Amino acid sequence: MKKLVCFAFLICTAHIYSQKDFSIAAIPKELTEYSNSVLIDELVEIDVTDVGKMKEKTHRVIAVLNKLGDGDTRLYEYYDSNSRVKNIEVKIYNALGKEIEHFKKKDFKDVSRTGISMYSDDRMMGINYTPTTYPYIAVFESETETGNTAFFKPWYPLKGFAESTLKYNLKIKFDPLNKPKYKPNNLDGYNISISEGPDELLFSASNLQAIRYEEHSPSRDRILPNVTLALNNFMLEGSAGSSADWQQFGNWVNKSLLSDVGDLPEGTLARVKSLVANETTNEGKARKIYQFVQDKVRYISIQIGIGGWKPMPASEVDKLSYGDCKALTNYTKALLEAVDVPAYYTLVNAGNNKIPIEEDFAFLWFNHAILGIPDGDEITWLECTSQDKPYGYMGDFTDDRDVIIMTPEGGKIAHTKMYETEENTQENTANVSVDANGNVTATLKSVSKGLQYDDDYLLPKEKQEDLEGHYKKKWNYINGFSITDINLNNNREEVIFTEELSLNIPNYANPVGSDYLFCANIFNQNQYIPPRIESRKQNLYIANGAIDVDTVTVEIPDNFTIEGLPEATVLKTKFGKYQIDFNISSDNKLTYTRKLTINKGEYPPSEYENFRDFLRSVARLDKTKILLKHNLQ
């Protein structure tokens, strides 16, 4: 059963192929290019003729070509208290088609899938096969049954990158009065067909070559061919639901999941009303309620039965002082409504993939809950699971994506805050002193905002040794530095994080005879250059923009002068802009300035090499050195 936790899990399964084709040599050569595995044959048969039951039979034959393909076999099934694995079996064959292993149901490990949850009724039945030779063929067969029909696994005829498919069929048998809806994505150019009968759907794919993973590409959902499926009428742990449209979906959430979980103890109601007694605005009230929640509760995930989607009652959260994303969001909502501040329970697909919501295709695809506080046409978003995030700050886990808000009128599509490039800033100001032996003492002040704030605001919770380790990793290009002082300030009101450090860097300047070569960019050298990808196929995708501004003032030692000052440099591309400048003041101090802007955007594959060139140039120029000339007497 799919649960609403912190991440959504996609499971793909499959069919037994005739043994005459178990030879690796029978696989077309083009399917082995860029492939770690080849899906030789798969058949998944799903029966949802009864709205209260989903039966699934899976048969899969997959050839694993190398070690990287071991995980592609997916030799497991998930189940919970409302589902069961009726049958499961695996056979392993060598490259010549000889059976070398046979695992029956009794050989499978049956383990809890607690994961990030303190408790969950989710379980997994699977084997962890360790091959002795490559290639090999795995034949997997399973049969499962569940009382939940709210979730269909999306059909991915190519299950992942570096996986090719010879043959893959999905059959769905249904009640004609409750025909599954489906939405094809990225199918053009593939040998994929969809056929419909009066009570059956058939999705077929054959001879699909592998797609290799390419860095800085859009999410896999926008690249791999796939079909999303859902029932308009479904059952979830005995609760009948509807997702005919988003309004009806929201009405079902309000009625079945939220209607009876908002009660709070009288003592708590009196306390929060007193807390906001002097506040005259909804924002003022909401800020105090949000801080109250952060001070009182902590995040713990508990997933049992419909609790995978239904929040724990607000009264229980109040009593126990913990809950998961659903429970804490609902608890905050109940507190706000108690002081007459409207709030929308909101479902979101959190994480790296920002998948747009289709207005005409409602289904249970979410993996996280947040809260929206309306103010006219604007909505302030609250992440209720965090004890540290500032009021109204989302970060990149839930920023800039479609969500469904549960209004009194039903579900509606909304969009979370998008952080513009100009908001995601880091300003570094350093004062540096170089002595006659090339040693450096420095102070640094770094101020982060926007999504760059998201990278650092939890640093004050780190232990001292872990904090020092963070900076040693960040500046791994500096050998042997020591930190003499760290002062961190998290301004939650203005959402600004400030780091102030003092450092000693022995032998930082490189000796050249009695002179020194010195790199003024001590604290923000870009070392990342994207890998070379020949014949790139995917678009270049830059998810977020950012701006770094650095100012370094360098005091050089007595009897030294700066020789051969580098010229100012400006690089301007569609991906961003880079500029550096060097200036000497009258008191023989050097001022180095740097500004790097990265623009978010999507570009054709042909631009990838230009993007690499830009970052390669930045990395080279970031290491620009000046000569500190020793004036011998």
The ranges assigned to domains in the chain are: 19-232, 243-415, 421-630
User: For the stretch 92-128, what's the b/e string if a residue is b when 16 or more beta carbons lie within 10 angstroms of its beta carbon?
Assistant: bbbbeeeeebebeeeebeeeebeeebeebbbbbbbbe
Distance of CA 83 to CAs 54, 120, 141, Å?
Answer: 9, 14, 17
Q: Which of 579, 584, 573, 566 lies closest to 611 in space, CA to CA?
A: 573
Task: Report DSSP state, residue 293.
Answer: H
Element (H, E) at 226: strand 226-230
What pLDDT score does 2 carry? 43
Q: Rounded CA gap, 172 and 182, in Å?
A: 11
Cis peptide bond N-terminal to 460, omega within 30: no
**Comparing 203-207, 353-357, 505-509, which segment has the lowest mean pLDDT?**
353-357
Quote the radius of gyration of the chain (alpha carbons, Å).
29
Least confident of 7-16, 358-367, 489-498, 554-563: 7-16
Mean pLDDT over 304-333 rounds to: 88
Third-level CATH fold of 421-630: Jelly Rolls (2.60.120)
pLDDT at 306: 52
Print the SS3 string covering 103-161: ECHHHCEEEECCCCEEEECCEEEECCCCCCCCCEEEEEEEEEEECCCCCCCCECCCCCC
Q: Taking each helix axis from N to C terminus, what angle separates 282-296 and 325-338, rounded to the nearest 10 degrees?
A: 140
Mean pLDDT of 265-291: 97
CA angle 491, 495, 497 (to 5 degrees): 55
CB atoms within 10 A of CB 431: 16
pLDDT tens for each residue of 103-123: 999 999 999 865 444 445 688
On average, the pLDDT of the chain sits at 92
The sign of the dihedral angle between the CA atoms of 465, 467, 469, 472 is negative
Res. 588 pLDDT band, cuts 50 70 90? confident
Q: What percentage of the chain has pLDDT greater than the value 90?
A: 87
Q: Rounded mean pLDDT of 32-44? A: 97
Predicted confidence at residue 114, as pLDDT, reads 57
Report residue 352 as tokens: 């790296």
pLDDT single digits (tens) 423-480: 999 999 999 999 999 999 999 999 999 999 999 999 999 999 999 999 999 999 999 9
Domain 19-232 has CATH 2.60.40.3140: yes
* pLDDT (mean) for 549-554: 98
Measured distance CA(96)–CA(113) in Å, rounded = 36
- pLDDT (average), residues 512-538: 96
pLDDT at 328: 96
Tens digits of per-residue pLDDT, 220-253? Answer: 999 999 999 999 999 998 889 999 999 999 999 9
Q: What is the pLDDT of residue 555?
A: 95
In the numeric block, the tokens 């991906």 are attached to: 575
Q: What is the pLDDT of residue 82?
A: 87
Residues in the chain: 633
pLDDT (tens digit per residue) in 148-197: 999 999 999 999 999 999 999 999 999 999 999 999 999 999 999 999 99
Residue 115 has what pLDDT? 46
pLDDT of the residue at 280 = 95
Q: Is the pLDDT score of 304 beyond 90? A: no
Q: For residues 126 and 110, give the distance between their C-alpha atoms in angstroms, rounded to a whole number.
A: 7
Q: Which of 13-22, 172-181, 366-375 has the lowest mean pLDDT?
A: 13-22
Cα dist. 35→70, 158, 220, 292 in Å? 12, 11, 16, 53
Neighbour count for residue 547 (Cβ, 10 Å) = 21
DSSP 531-549: PP-TT--SPEEE---EEEE
8/597: higher pLDDT: 597
CA distance 224 to 161: 8
- What are the strands of the beta sheet with 402-407, ordered from one edge? 378-382, 368-375, 344-348, 402-407, 410-415
CATH match for 243-415 among 3.10.620.30, 2.60.40.10, 1.10.10.10, 3.40.190.290 = 3.10.620.30
CB 157 within 8 A of CB 167: no
